[in-house]
Amino acid sequence: MQHFDIAVIGSGSGNSIIDERFSHLDVALIEDNPVFGGTCLNRGCIPTKMFVVAAESAMAPRQAARLGVDLDFKGADWPAIRDRVFGRIDPISAAGREWRRNGPGVTLFEGHASFVDAHTLLVGDVQISADQIVIATGSRPRPLSIEVPEELRSRFYTSDDVMRIAELPRRLIVLGGGFVACEFAQIFAGLGSQVTQINRSEVLLRGEDHEVSEAFKEEQAKLVNLILNQKISAAETGPDGEVLVITTDRNGVEYEYLADAVLVATGRVRNSDSLNLAAAGVEVGPGGQIRVDKYQRTSQPNIWALGDVSSNYLLKHVANAEARTVAANLLAGDGQLVATDHRYVPHAVFTDPQIASVGATEQQLREWGTPYVVARQRYADVAYGWALEDEGHFVKLLADPRTWHLLGAHIIGPQAATLIQPMIQAMSLGNTVQELARGQYWIHPALPEVLENALLGLLKEAAPKELEN
């Protein structure tokens, strides 16, 4: 049986651990996925954002009309868009696999890994052992809760495969109300599909601040046929061979929707269930989440975990941060371990409008009984917002009236994913609202003035906001 100093399961963020610092060690890298490099590169955040940019261009006429400019959308060349995206991504993935196959210091095993014990892995029909093992197996789309007739299964997609379809569907049903569902609904609607988005609750993007979520729902309903408080109960073949999706509302009333394709985007499942973790003594929590401490150690001190399989945050930038922690700790001596900083984890939703958030929402502060002050600033009330003819978009900031540190920042509107960064930086570095608002210049009349004005709005608050019952 071949023995290694370190074995890493997963070629996404786990692969980034193995750099020149590990050149003196024998390292095994294990990947059973047909694509190399993880979800973000191949099936997630990178290709989706490339499609988002294409869809934004397609929707430009709608935006331009408000500015007195007449543009005409003549259609989208789906194969060209698809091939542009994967013509860049696929060679990167292939090159990464080839590098690990033939590069120095790493032995690549291509097969499924499962634990025999805390130091032994079965990869296909080969056993290997390692002093330290890293689990970085990510997550996968949650499967549909109903049985789909065999003749229709080729019409049902997930985020894993929908971006590689042969042609743009004329009619698309999107199941789900999270960020994956909302982004894809807009991508396909922008490129010309008739999109019906069906969500089992009345809330879209339920993790967002309530005001942001409600504002987004209004905007989404302008772009797609938005159906709320219904869930899929059956799928049948329609009268012309299309998909007939049958839904049920809370009162048991049935509804029918026809489509050429269906995208299932109802959440993700952690890839921990097939690793035989019990054999290694690795503890698993609800939803298959591997339990780790602040150092990314599992219940077995020689086994580490990172990313979607163990994190509270299914976000690539968090997985990368956790990978850096694991890398440092694999090389560290006893008593020199470093912890991952999960205090201020931001996220963004690349829809139109964009959404970005960091820190607590107002509803969370109310639930916790935390004193806070709140300020809202409309894009429409700053000069660049005038240029955009902006309607309905805003920045919402929450601060501690005792320390004047930010507690949360939430943005819905153009460039939100970029605008949020100074707020993340301020929270991470401990800057006060006063320091952030008046300790630097804000370019006039650039869009960041919407942040400046929101910060100044916080400073106008003299007393804690009364918590609402």
Residue 444 among the catalytic residues: yes
274 burial level (CB within 10 Å; 0-12, 13-18, 19+): exposed
Domain that holds residue 195: 150-266
Judge whether 439 lies within some domain. Answer: yes
**Cα–chain-centroid distance for residue 416?**
15
| Assigned domain for 320 exists | yes
Name the domain count of the chain.
3
Residue of higher predicted confidence among 14 and 465: 14
Distance CA 164, CA 85 (A): 10
**Element (DSSP H or E) covering residue 348:** strand 347-349
Is 90 exceeded by the pLDDT of residue 334?
A: no
Statement to judge: residues 375 and 306 lie in one domain: no
275 in the same domain as 132: yes
Same domain, 17 and 107: yes
Q: What is the pLDDT of residues 36-59, one digit of tens each?
A: 999 999 999 999 999 999 999 999
Mean pLDDT of 266-281: 97
Q: Is the CB of residue 248 less than 8 Å from the CB of residue 230?
A: yes
The answer on 179 and 135 residing in a single domain is: no
Whole-number average pLDDT of the chain: 95
Q: Of 398, 390, 337, whose CA–CA distance to 371 is shortest?
A: 398
- The span from the CA of 316 to the CA of 218, in Å, is 28
Q: Is 299 found in the same domain as 183?
A: no
Using the predicted structure, report yes or no on whether residue 463 has a pLDDT greater than 90: no
- Clarify whether residues 178 and 243 are in a common domain: yes
What is the pLDDT averaged over residues 179-200?
Answer: 98
> What b/e string do you get for 162-188 counting C-beta neighbours within 10 Å, with b at 16 or more?
bbebeebbebbbbbbbbbbbbbbbbbb
Residue 387's φ and ψ, nearest 5 degrees, are: -60, -35
186, 293: one domain? no
Contact 96, 89 (CB under 8 A): no
**274 and 262 within one domain:** no
pLDDT in tens, 128-145: 999 999 999 999 999 999
Does 82 lie in the same domain as 130? yes
Find, among 159, 197, 208, the residue nearest to 349 by Cα: 208
CB 224 within 8 A of CB 193: no
Q: What's the mean pLDDT in 165-177?
A: 97
Return the CATH number at 165: 3.50.50.60
C-beta separation of 19 from 106 below 8 A: no
> Does residue 160 form part of some domain?
yes
- Do 196 and 105 fall into the same domain? no
Q: Which of 241, 266, 291 is the last residue of a domain?
A: 266
Q: How far apart are CA 287 and CA 260, in angstroms?
A: 32
pLDDT at 11: 97
- Mean pLDDT over residues 404-409, rounded? 98
Residue 344 in any domain: the answer is no
User: By three-state DSSP, how is residue 323 classified?
Assistant: helix
Residue 203 pLDDT > 80: yes
In 3-state terms, what secondary structure has residue 104? coil
348 inside domain: no
Give the per-residue pLDDT at 462: 53
The last residue of a domain, from among 266, 283, 305: 266
The answer to the question of residue 145 being in a domain is: no
- What pLDDT score was predicted for residue 461? 79
- The number of residues in the chain equals 469
Q: 261, 259, 253, 182: which is closest to 216 by C-alpha?
A: 182
Residue 345 is predicted with a pLDDT of 98
Q: Can you tell me the distance from the alpha carbon of 58 to that of 52, in angstroms, rounded to the nearest whole number?
A: 10
Residue 467 has pLDDT above 80, yes or no: no
Give me the catalytic one of 24, 317, 342, 444.
444
Per-residue pLDDT averaged across 72-93, rounded?
Answer: 96
Do 311 and 256 lie in a common domain?
Answer: no
Q: Which two tokens stand for residue 130?
A: 């390692």
Does residue 464 surpass a pLDDT of 60? no
Q: Which residues contact 438 (CB under 8 A, 6 or more apart)?
A: none
- Whether residue 246 sits in one domain with residue 98: no
User: Is pLDDT above 50 for 384?
Assistant: yes
Reply yes or no on whether the pLDDT at 465 is more than 70.
Answer: no
Enumerate the H helices of 289-375 as residue ranges. 316-331, 362-368
pLDDT at res. 335: 74
pLDDT score of 468 more than 60: no
